[in-house]
Every structure is written in structure tokens, then in C-alpha cells.
Amino acid sequence: MLKTKLNVLTLRKEPLPTVIFHEPEAIELCSATPHAKSRTHAGYKVTYLGKMTISGTQFLSGCTESAVVSLVERRALDQQQGTNPSSNSLLEIRPFQVRLHHLDEHGEVSVTVDAYQVARIAYCTADHSVRPNIFAWIYREINDDLSFQMDCHAVECESKLEAKKLAHSMMEAFRKTFQSMSSDGRIHKSGSTDDFAEDSSTPDDSTPDDG
């Protein structure tokens, strides 16, 4: 079993905003591959809390907390009023694309699927004080008039560890996506450094090798 500490990972790319993965705590991972429990799609079982538009294009630690708190409160209010629709979902993370499968009321059949381009994800984190089992990401949504907005999406996982695994899987998907895009010439390097700058806080930290 490999103990992995997820550090701040900054990806420099233009014209998209800086991409930061924030996951400060050490976690234990048997594999970076999400597990599937006899489901049609491989992925993580989550409860989708919704999305909220936020301001800014530079995101630091804690930037999703306010939006997540609002989404949690809104879902609690909907539950009290009995107006919340089924939000059972599967979150499937892969290079180039993240898919959120919205399931039926029995949590078995995929009814609709939302797709998110990995290159448009500006930030993700599993570090929330309101609930430690919430994973959130900030997505650059392109509107019909070609303007864009930054939406914070949040899902509630089965456990704190599941949320951390999602953060790790997203980091791996982003790394592989941008390595591929860089090798294809679709990313122009800014400055003389590599596209990726990883902050290693201790010399003992390591990440799983690609299999």
C-alpha cells in the first residue's frame, strides 16, 4: 500500500486561468483507479449537490468553501420542503473528460450525463470544513455568446476518504491530459519552466507511477 500526500499542483496554461489542485492531507491509496460496485459505469457513487457561479479567475485554498456551504444549506432546505429531486450520481473521472451520471431514483440506471472537459477545470479540492466528505471543482463554463463564467460544482461522497480519492483521481486525470496536450503541441509553455510546477513539502512524498 502506497501512502501518498497530495500537494498543491499548479498547471500553467493560457488562456485558461491557473489550475490548482488542493489536497493537503496524507491519504492511503491501494490504487488510483476508481472502484465500481456492479454498476453500469465505473465511477464513484456520490450525491450531486448542484452548482453555484462564483467570481474571480485565480483560486486559492478555501475558495470553494462559501459556495459549498450555500449548496449544502440549499439541499437541506429542499429536503425539508420535499422538493429536491433524486441526486444519486456516479462521478467518472478520466483523462480529457469528467462525466457525472445522474441515476434514477433506485440509483441504478443512468438517466442523464453531464460532461466536463478536464482542460476547463480551474480548481478542485476535497478540503471543506463544513463537511469533510465533499469534493468540489470549479469549471469554466462557456456561454452561447462566447463569454464564460466560473461554476463551483460539489458532490457529497460516501466518506472523507472517498472525497480524497476523487481529488487524487482528478489530479492524475489532469496530469495525463496536459501531458498529452503538451506533446501534441496544443499547449504553449509560459516561460522557461515546464507546464507543471509541483510543490513537494517533504522529500518522502511520492505519487504512484503510471501503470
**Can you give the three-state secondary structure of 33-46, one letter per residue?**
CCCCCCCCCCCEEE
**Boundaries of every domain in the chain:** 43-182
Interatomic CA distance for residues 49 and 173, integer angstroms: 22
Grid cell of 207 as nine digits? 505519487
pLDDT for 64-99, tens place per residue?
A: 999 999 999 998 888 888 776 668 899 999 999 999
Grid cell of 136 as nine digits? 468540489
Predicted structure pTM score: 0.68
Report residue 165's pLDDT band, with 50, 70 and 90 as the boundaries: very high
Q: Are 118 and 95 in contact (CB under 8 A)?
A: yes
pLDDT for 7-47, tens place per residue?
A: 333 333 444 444 444 444 433 333 334 443 434 457 889 99
- 148-163 as b/e, with b when 16 or more CB fall inside 10 Å? eebbbbbbbbeebebb
CATH topology of domain 43-182: PH-domain like (2.30.29)
